[in-house]
Amino acid sequence: MNQEIFERVQEIVVEQLDVEEEKVTPQAHFQNDLGADSLDTVELVMALEEEFDVEIPDEAAEKIATVEAAVEYIDEKLKAAA
């Protein structure tokens, strides 16, 4: 897992979901562990899109359940664009 991307994702999740940084581990599940509801999730995805200047389609966003999944998805997108 790309550490730099993880740290940027972590920072956004802390800000968006108002959770403590220690809780935002790679394995953390957005809904089960970090208290995100359906509206929070939409807003979080939008924030990630802005931060990394990538597009995350709804079908992809629905499958991203954990912090690590988000980091992996963004990493692949960035590599594909490079």
17 near other proteins (CB under 8 A): yes
- Catalytic residue (one of 37, 40, 53, 75): 37
1 near other proteins (CB under 8 A): no
Stretch that binds other proteins, among 22-30, 39-47, 59-67, 70-78 (CB under 8 A): 39-47
> Which ranges of the chain does DSSP label H, i.e. alpha helix?
3-17, 38-52, 58-63, 67-81
d(CA 23, CA 35): 11
Angle formed by the axes of helices 3-17 and 38-52, nearest 10°: 140
Show the binding pattern over residues 45-74: x = contacts other proteins (CB under 8 A), - = does not: -x----------------------------
